Amino acid sequence: MKFKAVMILLLLLSPIIAVFGETSVVIGHISTEIDGKTHRNALLNELRIYEGKRFESLARLEDLVNSRANDLLKRRLFKEFTWNINAENPEDIEIDIRIVDSFTLMPRPMLKFSTEKGLTLGLRLDYFNAFGTLTDQKFEGYWSPTEILFQVQVQEIILGPLHMDTSFKQFNGKTRYGNTDGTTLIEYRNSSSELFISLDMPLGPGSPWSYRITPLASWLYQYDSATIFNYFPDSLFLNEGFTPGLNHGFVTDQVNWVGNFRKGYYFDFINNNLWYTGSGNSDIFMESDLKGYLPLTSWFEISGRIGGFYAFEGQRKNAGDRLRGVVDYMTWGEWGNFISIQANFKLFHAGNLFSLHLRPFTDIGYVYSELWGDGPDAWEYCAGATAIFYFDALPSLSLNIDWGWDFKRNMPELIIDTVHFL
């Protein structure tokens, strides 16, 4: 009987004994071979390793380096990234790292067409891994019949274990609310300035989860015109004045590239808050997304997404952004749920020029609004396909031609644009 009791106790304590029985390790030497502009210090800061750093175990060190290296690979900053850990001496671990930088300075004219905004003309300059610091700098300005924008962004600023993004945006554009029959109920044009800072904080060393917090401030200072049906009071939408906000939530991104396919999953759970001091109104809502990608062969991938939102105050504008085929502003409301299923076929590869993929999709949504209630009008149905050109010389860039059909309103949505993965 005593023997059984001792065995049971040992079994219960075995995980604890295993943890405390692990040998700690110390990084003795880090060798880096860098072909390009990336600075060694920036690379090691991003990997969160340095000579003399002690880890509880070799497994902890391997998990950290693997996690941080995968995060860098997702940004497609390098043509090559290899690393190796020599653990022959636990008190003198050797790490060898080799990277080959990609070309990451991308000035490009913006020529985009969408059913919602018409033809968009502009210029964008993206400098990823700017000056070898692993920080991204982006400058953008464009014009369309519905909006004008100028924006400056500095992203992926390394602050120890944290990442910080900053942005300043000057905007003049239309805000619109659509209806179930395809008409526009509300339309007004406003100007605003916006500044935000976002911090991405990992929940632990090597943890796939991070907590993201984004305090922001904007100033809505001009409303040029308004067309609002009598159903809505004007004061509901005239949110002029200083507007502070705070967005925060949890994010995990476990999606990796396998050639031009993706594998893994992404999940977020975000709380968005805006307070309009001029009108006393507020927008407070929760939203969440779960995306999954599964490549089955070298030429076929299946993926899907489920998500939703719930507004405590105000409405979730542009809820059609979750539905390809539905113009964004056509649906909006107090809560909604969405599901999307798509396939991705690699049709052919043209020498060393590009690969062509075709991605048929079906999107279904259910959006409740006080205007149309929770009956049949709340359902959204759309289907379509996206043609994607992946360019061999620019692995971080693709050309997308996205066409979908809104079955409820019997109208199409077409978007032609270039997409960056960095």
pLDDT recorded at residue 4? 47
Q: What is the mean pLDDT of the chain?
A: 87
Among 178, 118, 166, residue whose Cα is nearest residue 142: 118
Question: Do residue 340 and residue 198 come from a single domain?
Answer: yes
Q: What are the tens digits of pLDDT across the range 162-185?
A: 899 999 999 999 888 899 999 888
Assess if residue 64 is contained within a domain: yes
Residue bearing the bigger pLDDT, 225 or 281? 281
53-57, 104-108, 364-368: range with highest mean pLDDT: 364-368
Considering only 138-152, 253-267, 358-372, which range has the smallest mean pLDDT? 253-267
CATH of the domain at 177: 2.40.160.50
Question: Do residue 71 and residue 167 come from a single domain?
Answer: no
Domain end position, chosen among 49, 79, 101 = 101
Hey, what are 121's tokens?
Answer: 């003309």
pLDDT recorded at residue 33? 95
Residue 159 has pLDDT above 50, yes or no: yes
Whole-number Cα distances in Å, 88 to 24, 52, 57, 92? 13, 16, 13, 8
pLDDT recorded at residue 276? 86
Question: Do residue 134 and residue 48 come from a single domain?
Answer: no
pLDDT recorded at residue 327? 94
Number of domains in the chain: 2
Confidence of residue 235 (pLDDT cuts 50, 70, 90): low
Assess if residue 138 is contained within a domain: yes
Domain end position, chosen among 101, 119, 137 = 101
Q: What is the pTM of this model?
A: 0.81
Confidence of residue 136 (pLDDT cuts 50, 70, 90): very high
Question: Do residue 66 and residue 184 come from a single domain?
Answer: no
Question: Do residue 94 and residue 198 come from a single domain?
Answer: no
Mean pLDDT calculated for residue range 316-333: 92
Question: Do residue 167 and residue 31 come from a single domain?
Answer: no
Assess if residue 4 is contained within a domain: no
Mean pLDDT calculated for residue range 347-360: 93
**Residue 11, φ and ψ in degrees, nearest 5:** -65, -40
Assess if residue 314 is contained within a domain: yes
Question: Do residue 387 and residue 333 come from a single domain?
Answer: yes
pLDDT recorded at residue 347? 96
pLDDT recorded at residue 203? 85
pLDDT recorded at residue 298? 92
Question: Do residue 80 and residue 197 come from a single domain?
Answer: no
Assess if residue 88 is contained within a domain: yes
Question: Do residue 113 and residue 255 come from a single domain?
Answer: yes
Question: Do residue 345 and residue 197 come from a single domain?
Answer: yes
Domain end position, chosen among 101, 117, 151 = 101
pLDDT recorded at residue 258? 85
Which domain covers residue 218, as residue numbers?
A: 105-420
Q: What is the 3-state secondary structure (H, E, C) of the chain?
A: CHHHHHHHHHHHHHHHHHHHHCCCEEEEEEEEEEECCCCHHHHHHHHCCCCCCEECCHHHHHHHHHHHHHHHHHCCCEEEEEEEEECCCCCCEEEEEEEEECCCEEEEEEEEEECCCEEEEEEEEEECCHHHCCCEEEEEEEECCCEEEEEEEEEEEEECCEEEEEEEEEEEEEEEEECCCCCEEEEEEEEEEEEEEEEEEECCCCCCEEEEEEEEEEEEEEEEEEEECCCCCHHHCCCCEEEEEEEEEEEEEEEEEECCEEEEEEEEEEEEEEECCCCCCEEEEEEEEEEEEEEEECCEEEEEEEEEEEEEECCECCHHHHCCCCCHHHCCECEEEEEEEEEEEEEEEECCCEEEEEEEEEEEEEEEECCCECCHHHEEEEEEEEEEEEECCCCCEEEEEEEEEECCCCEEEEEEEEEECC
CATH of the domain at 57: 3.10.20.310
Hey, what are 136's tokens?
Answer: 């991204």
Residue bearing the bigger pLDDT, 7 or 237? 237
Question: Do residue 32 and residue 178 come from a single domain?
Answer: no
pLDDT recorded at residue 167? 96
Question: Do residue 168 and residue 43 come from a single domain?
Answer: no
Q: How far apart are CA 267 and CA 292, in angstroms?
A: 9
